[in-house]
Amino acid sequence: MQAPKIITLTKQNIAAEHICCGFADKKCAEGYEAKKHWLAQQIDNGYIFKKFDIRGKVFIEYVSAEKAWVPIIAPDYMFINCFWVSGQYKGQGYGKKLFEECLADSQGMNGIVAISSEKKQPFLSDKKFFTMQGFKVCDISNPYFELLYFPLKKNAPIPKFKDCCKRGECDNKNGLTIYYSNECPFTEYYTAELIVIAEERGHRIVAKKIETMEQAQKHFVPFTIYSIFKDGKFMTQQILTEKSFIKIVEQE
């Protein structure tokens, strides 16, 4: 059976193409369109979104690290921002083919970087896949983030996290703080939901939207899509429902 083709999103086709995440989730329709708008803007900065032509979450997103919405120092590296192969499509080589697309687009650069974790964490790409391709850990950040790199040149500089994101602490030390961006279609809806849940349970909560690359590159943790802090301490990058809020935030 012939494998489905790979589609690269452009400003010309993005309106007609789905973006894999959230396309069947009606309650996240606003966030879905916000993600498309964000993507259209980032394409002007060289951002690349590639997916298989199937109705599922099988895609990769990457961009030059200098233009990435992450607090890292990785000169002339390509940064993998989001990489997802889910459900029935796992174990069929789709992930390897998508990585090969990124590798081809990174030729002539110093290498490729990605953010993962020592143990598998929600919403973070699995470290196991990257190590199988030859990636190595080059830096760490509290409490469990790892920067992985795949050099393409012999004397390529080793990437690192910026100091601003290494402590895992934000500047609001009173109550809960949610930081989110439109890099993910789920953040708009679930941030609004969590504000209601937290306030109903007696928590002081503030939501802060990361709206520019400059803000993202100065963030308090490496993951800029979504992050929750309690009294200034980083709690999780997992997008929380009421059940997970109680488990992670209230039963720490």
In the chain, the DSSP E strands lie at: 6-8, 48-52, 58-64, 72-73, 77-85, 111-117, 136-141, 145-151, 160-161, 176-180, 205-209, 226-230, 233-236
Q: What does the block give as tokens for 108?
A: 């002539």
pLDDT, average across residues 154-183:
97
Q: What does the block give as tokens for 103?
A: 């590798």
**Sequence ranges of the chain with CATH classification 3.40.630.30:** 6-162
**Sequence ranges of the chain with CATH classification 3.40.30.10:** 165-250
Whole-angstrom Cα distance, residue 61 to residue 182? 14
Whole-angstrom Cα distance, residue 113 to residue 74? 8
CATH number (2.40.170.20, 3.40.630.30, 2.60.40.3950, 3.30.70.120) of 6-162 reads 3.40.630.30
Whole-angstrom Cα distance, residue 166 to residue 170? 11
pLDDT band per the 50, 70, 90 thresholds, residue 225: very high
- How does pLDDT run across 84-136, given as a tens digit for each residue? 998 788 888 999 999 999 999 999 999 999 999 999 999 999 999 999 999 99
Predicted pLDDT at 151: 98
pLDDT band per the 50, 70, 90 thresholds, residue 1: low
Q: What does the block give as tokens for 228?
A: 């929750």
**Cβ neighbourhood burial of 152 (10 Å; 0-12, 13-18, 19+):** middle
CATH number (3.40.50.300, 2.40.50.100, 3.40.1360.10, 3.40.30.10) of 165-250 reads 3.40.30.10
- Which of these, 42, 46, 229, lies nearest to 142 by C-alpha position? 229
pLDDT band per the 50, 70, 90 thresholds, residue 183: very high
Where residue 123 falls (left for φ over 0; alpha for ψ -120 to 50; beta otherwise) is left
Predicted pLDDT at 250: 87
For residue 27, what is the DSSP state?
Answer: G
